[in-house]
């Protein structure tokens, strides 16, 4: 009796095997579900399409310019004056991007009213870049590729920091770009302004035809990173 | 065996079949949802447009990277007697590195994060959103690494530059408008000890580890050049920017 294999034993084994297969396929489908394009809503897909269209447009413009520059470099290889001005142009452009030069242009300023967390600030800055901002600063702190946002705590107060320097209240975030697009990205329903207002934090946004952003005063040298040599 | 007694395997089998039934129904529902979504002609058109544009922009990026490389070579090779030009060339190289349009290698850290698939498997009826890596997780970890002095960062081969956005549309994570899928590998160049401390103390990393997400990190020796970040191949928009002297700020 004890060691006999009953008919229902086999049934049970078969059933469990089936059950296992079903559970695993379901998990598999659920995983696929979440990030697969076919599972995104039409409106999300439209957003992605718009972003990609913008990206293609920007790339087309940049490619044209880069090709033109390359041609100049190739033709003026031995013409110091021409080469000098080409190099200067490209240098100026990179300094605008990297934050090495102060800039002005159309944009928005955001005055923060309420208790803002450093993580909120990270999200706001990220949102501005996503909306096509070309330069961003928090008070006098120009955001660069290496800028970090954090906080320091004293006994009675928490201070937000940007690049290790305390940002004094009131906080003002400035961004240059298409000012209507920048504003909309923050104020859209369910966006960052909405979610912050739940915590009594209010973003007062002003559109400017021209706004000024400081440069990053010190450009620290790279101490660890190197450009890989091409011979390798 | 008495005639009217139910054999004991009957309730077992009933239970099993019931469970199978439940899973089958759910599976069918998911499958029909998928086919409903893909069957929508509008969705299908959008998806094909998206994939076409992705391929097109990828080709553009490849070409841009090539042109940048050629330009760089020409500039660095043009051995000019003019010191003014040499100085400018040096400054240009520095700014190119800073902008992230060159590859970068050095010591640092690699952080790996993945969706919590086993957690979801253990609770198949729970909200799946609780078991996936969200864009905020990546955004906060990038910020933590920047606070620790990271000189360059990339996520799944996408170099993070000043204007890089990390966002999600629906359930898709995008960095530099490029779709990324888990597992995520965040690589950063900088002081390995400081970067490691940043990850150990990162509330995002801690929270993910404690909630059962597969997380790990590895640091290199301080003299290593094992971390290699690719160059940013995208564009920078500057059409609204005008340079002004710092005194005018």
List, as one string, the DSSP characters of A135-157. EEEETTEE--TT--EEEEE-SS-
pLDDT at position B228 is: 97
Asked if A165 reaches chain B (Cβ–Cβ under 8 Å), the answer is no
Place of tokens 């009213």: A113
pLDDT higher than 90, residue B14:
no
Percent of chain A with pLDDT over 90: 53
Q: How confident is the model at residue A27 (pLDDT cuts 50, 70, 90)?
A: low
pLDDT at B104: 96
DSSP assignment of B135-184 equals: HHHHHHHHHHHHHTT-SEEEETTEEE-TT--EEEETTEEEETTEEE-SSE
Nearest to B46 among A49, A177, A219 (CB): A49
**Looking at chain B from residue 8 to 27, which residues have their Cβ under 8 Å from any Cβ of chain A?**
8-9, 12-13, 16-17, 19-20, 23-24, 26-27
Name the pTM for this structure.
0.82
CB A106 within 8 A of CB A177: yes
pLDDT tens track for A132-153: 999 999 999 999 999 999 999 9
CATH annotation of A103-213: 3.30.70.1880
Task: Specify whether the backbone of A67 is left (phi greater than 0), alpha (psi in -120 to 50) or beta.
Answer: alpha
Q: Mind listing the pLDDT tens digit for each residue in A154-205?
A: 888 899 999 999 999 999 999 999 999 999 999 999 899 999 999 999 999 9
Question: Cis peptide leading into B207, omega within 30 of 0?
Answer: no
Nearest to B60 among A54, A60, A148 (CB): A60
Burial tier of B112 (Cβ tally within 10 Å: 0-12, 13-18, 19+):
middle
Question: Cβ–Cβ of B92/A90 closer than 8 Å?
Answer: yes
Q: What does the alpha-carbon distance between residue B83 and residue B76 come to, in Å, rounded to a whole number?
A: 13
> What are the angstrom distances between the C-alpha of B206 and each of A123, B110, B123, B212?
19, 16, 22, 10
Bridge partners, residue B186, by sequence: B111, B155
Percent of chain A with pLDDT over 70: 91
**Cβ-Cβ contacts under 8 Å, B9 against chain A:** 6-8, 11-12
Q: Which of residues 35-94 of B touch A (CB under 8 A)?
A: 37-38, 40, 42-43, 46-47, 49-51, 53-54, 56-57, 60-61, 63-64, 67-68, 70-71, 73-75, 78, 80, 82, 84-85, 88-89, 91-93
- State residue A29's pLDDT score: 62
| CA angle, B102 then B104 then B108, to 5° | 155
Q: Which tokens hold the place of A84?
A: 């000098």
The mean per-residue pLDDT over the stretch B202-227 comes to 96
* Both tokens assigned to B139: 């955004």
Return the number of other C-beta atoms located less than 10 Å from residue B91's C-beta.
Answer: 16
The whole-chain average pLDDT of chain B stands at 88
Please report the beta strands in chain A, taking only residues with DSSP state E, as ranges in sequence order: 102-113, 135-138, 141-142, 149-153, 158-162, 165-166, 172-176, 202-213
Chain B residue numbers with beta carbons less than 8 Å from the beta carbon of A15 are 13, 16-17, 20
Say if the Cβ atoms of A73 and B75 lie within 8 Å: yes
Contact B42 A42 (CB under 8 A): yes
Q: What average pLDDT does range A9-28 have in this prediction?
A: 78
Q: Which residues of B touch A46 (CB under 8 A)?
A: 46
Q: Does the pLDDT of residue A11 top 80, yes or no?
A: no
Average pLDDT value for chain A: 88
pLDDT at A7 over 60: yes
Q: What is the pLDDT of residues B40-52, one digit of tens each?
A: 777 888 888 888 8
- Distance of alpha carbon B99 from alpha carbon B236, whole angstroms: 10
Query: Beta partners for B196?
Result: none
Report chain A's terminal Cα–Cα distance, integer Å.
Answer: 73
Phi, psi of A41 (to 5 degrees): -70, 160
- Tell me the CB-side half-sphere exposure of residue B236, using CA atoms within 13 A: 24
Note whether B120 contacts A: Cβ–Cβ < 8 A: yes
Mean of pLDDT values over A197-224: 91
What was the pLDDT predicted at B45? 84
A232 pLDDT band, cuts 50/70/90, is very low
Tokens coding A29: 């489908």
| Per-residue confidence (pLDDT) for residue B81, from 0 to 100 | 63
CA distance A136 to chain B (A): 9
Whether the predicted pLDDT of B34 surpasses 70: no
Give the dihedral sign, CA B121/B127/B128/B130. negative
Size of chain A in residues: 232
Task: Report, as an integer, the average pLDDT of B89-114.
Answer: 92
pLDDT in tens, B154-163: 999 999 999 9
Query: So what's the pLDDT on residue B215?
Result: 97
Q: Could you tell me if B199 and B218 are in contact, meaning their C-beta atoms sit under 8 angstroms apart?
A: no
Per-position b or e across A12-28, b if 16+ CB within 10 A of its CB: eeebeebeeebbeebbe
């Amino acid at each position: 009796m004890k060691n006999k294999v009953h008919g229902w034993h086999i049934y049970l084994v078969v059933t469990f095997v089936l059950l296992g297969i079903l559970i695993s396929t379901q998990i598999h489908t659920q995983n696929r579900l979440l990030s697969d394009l076919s599972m995104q809503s039409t409106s999300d897909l439209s957003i992605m399409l718009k972003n990609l269209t913008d990206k293609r447009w920007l790339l087309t413009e940049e490619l044209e310019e880069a090709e033109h520059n390359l041609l100049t470099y190739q033709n003026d290889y031995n013409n110091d004056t021409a080469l000098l001005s080409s190099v200067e142009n490209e240098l100026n452009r990179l300094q605008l991007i990297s934050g090495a030069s102060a800039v002005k242009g159309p944009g928005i300023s955001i005055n923060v009213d309420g208790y803002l967390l450093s993580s909120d600030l990270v999200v706001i800055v990220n949102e501005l870049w996503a909306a096509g901002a070309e330069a961003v600063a928090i008070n006098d702190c120009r955001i660069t590729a290496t800028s970090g946002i954090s906080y320091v705590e004293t006994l009675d107060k928490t201070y937000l920091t940007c690049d290790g320097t305390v940002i004094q209240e009131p906080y003002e975030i400035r961004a240059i770009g298409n000012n209507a697009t920048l504003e909309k990205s923050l104020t859209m329903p369910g966006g960052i302004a909405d979610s912050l207002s739940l915590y009594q934090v209010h973003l007062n946004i002003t559109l400017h035809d021209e706004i000024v952003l400081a440069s990053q005063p010190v450009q620290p040298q790279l101490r660890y990173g190197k450009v890989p040599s091409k011979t390798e | 065996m008495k005639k009217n007694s139910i054999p004991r395997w009957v309730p077992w089998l009933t239970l099993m079949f019931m469970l199978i039934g439940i899973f089958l129904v759910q599976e069918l529902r998911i499958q029909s949802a998928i086919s409903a979504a893909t069957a929508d002609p509008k969705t299908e058109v959008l998806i094909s447009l998206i994939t076409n544009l992705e391929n097109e922009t990828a080709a553009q990026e490849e070409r841009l990277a090539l042109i940048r490389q050629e330009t760089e070579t020409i500039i660095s090779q043009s051995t000019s007697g003019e010191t003014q030009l040499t100085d400018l060339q040096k400054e240009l190289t520095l700014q190119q590195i800073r902008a992230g349009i060159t590859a970068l290698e050095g010591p640092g850290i690699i952080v790996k994060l993945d969706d919590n698939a086993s957690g979801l498997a253990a609770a198949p009826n729970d909200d799946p959103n609780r078991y996936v890596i969200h864009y905020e997780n990546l955004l906060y970890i990038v910020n933590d690494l920047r606070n620790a002095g990271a000189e360059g960062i990339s996520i799944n081969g996408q170099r993070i530059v000043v204007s890089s956005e990390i966002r999600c549309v629906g359930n898709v994570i995008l960095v530099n408008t490029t779709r990324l899928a888990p597992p995520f590998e965040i690589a950063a160049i900088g002081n390995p000890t400081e970067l490691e401390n940043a990850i150990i103390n990162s509330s995002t990393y801690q929270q993910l580890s404690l909630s059962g997400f597969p997380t790990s990190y590895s640091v290199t020796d301080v003299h290593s050049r094992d971390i290699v970040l690719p160059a940013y191949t995208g564009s920078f928009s500057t059409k609204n920017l005008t340079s002004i002297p710092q005194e005018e700020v």
